[in-house]
Amino acid sequence: MSLWFWIVVACAVGFLTKLVGYLLPRKWLTNPRVARVAGTLTIGLLASLTVANTVATGAALAVDARLGALAAAAVALWLKAPFLVVVIVGALAAAGLRLLGLP
Amino acid sequence: MPTSLQESPGARVGLSIAVATGLYGVSFGALSVSSGLDVWQTQALSLLLFSGGSQFAFIGVIAGGGTPVAAASAAALLGIRNAVYGMQMNMLLQPRRWRRLAAAHVTIDESLATSTGQTDPLEQRRGFWVAGVGIFVLWNLFTLVGALAGDAIGDPKQWGLDGAAVAAFLALLWPRLRSREAGAIAAVCALATVLAVPFVPPGVPILVAAVVAALIGWFGYRSGPSGEGLEPDIDPYPQPDDPSRTATS
């Protein structure tokens, strides 16, 4: 139930964030400093989510097959593979390394 | 000169982006159920939140053992750029009443990019709606496919689905690393995350990184053209009454 509640909250906040852009006076959001924070926040959060999903297991750090998935995905991206291919490469790398005995 | 909808470049670009992006819904659906959400919760996120980055953030925090509060916070923060997009689309489309609510809901990276990639106002409008509504329909359809398939295949680790999540986040980050400064911010936030993991509850390291990123953005701001690559994905659109812009169509 609690999960459902926060799903609804996230959805409501997400929609209102989009709507606020249509309602606010132009000068608020064209402020270059605000636009820059929106940009740095996006980069910082995505970097953090990438790393957290690679090395965090609960509240502990762990080295496992996910590190191989990160490396394989980076190579795929460097070769300009499309999004879906990158995701599949990441899955194959993790699954393959586990077959070889990595945790 | 307005063209028919079949020959509309805006609609064509929108449609191809809708197909290409909508398919990602499969990976979201599969990863979401492997993170512990059920099919209905997964579908609710795609229908109501409808913002890829925020949706992946939500399930990424849950998958790491984080609380639903931390998941919702991460999703909310990652959606902030949509407010900037909304302002840009409002200047272009100036929708009224229910159209304004619909336009807000389908305001995402891809619909903004499609629209602002066109020069003719009619094509900007068509591009926005075709991309936005097209992605919404396909994204939701393929989320359901992924959620149902993901539920049926058993242990997600055996199939490398946690590796798929890592790859998905890296793929979302990658195109934003266009400058050295962007790379440095990513590195600092990644380091902050790793340092925070052992000391705070799951999900909170991501919020720590968000604070670090916001502080860099706020205090590292210099006026002038030095913020290269750090603005939201699409360069702020020139003023709508800019005559040089309309003259090029």
Contacts of B231 in chain A (CB under 8 A): 35-36, 38-39
Question: Residue A59 has what pLDDT?
Answer: 85
For B33-52, what is the mean pLDDT? 96
Q: How confident is the model at residue B247 (pLDDT cuts 50, 70, 90)?
A: very low
For B6-33, what is the mean pLDDT? 88
Predicted TM-score of the model (pTM): 0.80
A38·B80 Cβ contact <8 A? yes
Q: How confident is the model at residue B211 (pLDDT cuts 50, 70, 90)?
A: very high
Q: How far apart are CA A76 and CA A88, in angstroms?
A: 10
Question: Residue B170 has what pLDDT?
Answer: 93
Q: How far apart are CA B215 and CA A36, in angstroms?
A: 11
CA distances from B93 to A69, A98, B247 (A): 42, 51, 18
Question: Residue A80 has what pLDDT?
Answer: 94
For B25-44, what is the mean pLDDT? 94
Question: Residue A1 has what pLDDT?
Answer: 60
Question: Residue A71 has what pLDDT?
Answer: 98
Which range scores top for mean pLDDT: A27-41, B124-138, B166-180, B199-213? B124-138
pLDDT at B42 over 90: yes
Query: By C-alpha distance, which of A103, A94, A56 is closest to B168?
Result: A94
What percentage of chain B carries pLDDT values higher than 70?
88
Question: Residue A41 has what pLDDT?
Answer: 87
Structure tokens at B98: 């229910």
B58·A26 Cβ contact <8 A? no
Q: What is the pLDDT of residues B116-145, one digit of tens each?
A: 888 889 999 999 999 999 999 999 999 999
Question: Residue B116 has what pLDDT?
Answer: 82
Give pLDDT < 50 ranges for chain A: none
Q: How confident is the model at residue B41 (pLDDT cuts 50, 70, 90)?
A: very high
Q: Cα angle vertex B123, ends B122, B129, to 5°?
A: 95
Structure tokens at A61: 């750090």
Interface-testing mutation among B21, B48, B166, with chain A (most A C-beta atoms within 10 A): B166
According to DSSP, the β-strands at A60-61 and A56-57 are: antiparallel
Specify the DSSP element, H or E, that contains A78: helix A65-78
Q: Which of B86, B192, B213 sits opposite A22 (nearest CB)?
A: B86
Helical ranges in chain B per DSSP H = 9-22, 25-34, 39-44, 52-63, 68-78, 81-93, 98-105, 109-116, 121-152, 161-173, 180-196, 204-219, 243-246
The neighbour count for residue A25, using CB atoms within 10 Å, is 8
Structure tokens at B235: 């360069």
E-assigned strand segments in chain A = 56-57, 60-61
> pLDDT averaged over chain B?
85
Better pLDDT: A94 or B112: A94
Q: What is the ipTM of this complex?
A: 0.91
Looking at the complex, does the CB of residue A102 fall below 8 Å from at least one CB of chain B?
Answer: no
Query: By C-alpha distance, which of B88, B86, B62 is closest to B74?
Result: B62
Q: What is the pLDDT of residues B60-111, one digit of tens each?
A: 999 999 999 999 999 999 898 898 889 888 888 888 889 999 999 999 988 9
DSSP sequence for B179-204:
SHHHHHHHHHHHHHHHHHTTTS-TTH
For B50-62, what is the mean pLDDT? 94
Question: Residue A32 has what pLDDT?
Answer: 84
Q: How far apart are CA B192 and CA B212, in angstroms?
A: 8
Which residues contact residue B60 at a Cβ distance below 8 angstroms, ignoring those fewer than 6 apart?
A49, A52, A53, B35, B74, B165, B169, B206
Q: What is the pLDDT of residues B228-242, one digit of tens each?
A: 445 554 433 333 333
Better pLDDT: B222 or B164: B164
Question: Residue B23 has what pLDDT?
Answer: 86
Q: Cα angle vertex B170, ends A77, A10, to 5°?
A: 140
- Contacts with B, A 18-37, CB within 8 Å: 18-22, 24, 26, 28-30, 32-37
pLDDT at B33 over 70: yes
Q: Which of B41, B75, B177 sits opposite A4 (nearest CB)?
A: B41
For B179-197, what is the mean pLDDT? 95
- Contacts with A, B 85-114, CB within 8 Å: 85-91, 95, 100-101, 103-105, 107
Better pLDDT: B246 or B81: B81
